[in-house]
Structure 1
Amino acid sequence: MRDWAVLEEVWEVILDRAEHPSAESYVSSVLTHRKGVDKSLEKVGEEAVEFILAAKNQVPERTVSEAADLLFHFLVALKASGTDVEDVLAELASRRK
């Protein structure tokens, strides 16, 4: 099933956690970390490496899992950097020929 709406739902949760931080929320903990945006960027780097290794080693279930982790942490990093995902989507749309 290809349901791109799940990415929008995840983005909405990230926005909500940024607006209403909670001690129990992983997203809130990343967005309010003492390292600032660096914490979310570290997570993107970590997940990117794990995705690359899984894909290179041709481990399908790990590749899927790590891809999901990478997409999630990428969205959190966008929020942490003050970038709206709509701007990224608009950029991608502008590149279509």
Structure 2
Amino acid sequence: MKNPNLQETVKIINDCREGKLSHPHIEEILRKGDDKILRKIGEEAAEVIMACKDYKLGNGDKKHIEEEVGDVLYYLLIALAHNDVDAEKVFKKMWKKRQFDFLS
């Protein structure tokens, strides 16, 4: 199976939340709720910062940044699902806020 794209990932997470699909890690994080989800976002965001700093100092590589950003994005998408927030609306608002509404 190929790696899911962003839209497919959102669907997988939402399907797990709704009980339509089983994925032990997603289910565990959702079950533990906001405290666990938000703590993971904070931890992973700090790791992104360190990975970027390490890269700029010549002590890291882009692969590490990609991995850490992927982790933050994963937990952000879980937070959206847990709070029943539509990821598509988030992206539309993100682009509109940055005056890219010509794309819609």
Pairing partner for 1:48 from 45, 50, 59? 45
Percentage identity across aligned positions? 32
Find the counterpart in structure 2 of residue 37 from structure 1: 34
Higher-Rg member (1/2): 2
Find the counterpart in structure 1 of residue 5 from structure 2: 6
Query: Counterpart amino acid of 1:92?
Result: M
Q: List aligned pairs for 1:17-96, cutoff 5 A.
A: 17-20=16-19, 22=22, 25-33=24-32, 36-58=33-55, 59=60, 60-95=62-97, 96=99
How far the C-alpha of 1:90 sits from its partner, in A, is 2.1
Aligned positions, number: 90
Deviations 1:4-45 (A, max 9, x none): x701111010001101174x5101100111xx2121111111
| TM-score normalised to structure 1 length | 0.82
User: Following TM superposition, where does structure 1 have runs of at least 4 consecutive aligned residues deviating by more than 4 angstroms?
Assistant: none
In structure 1, the gaps of 5 or more residues are none
| TM-score normalised to structure 2 length | 0.77
In structure 2, the gaps of 5 or more residues are none
How far the C-alpha of 1:93 sits from its partner, in A, is 3.2
Find the counterpart in structure 1 of residue 14 from structure 2: 15
Secondary structure (helix, strand or coil) at the match of 1:13 reads helix
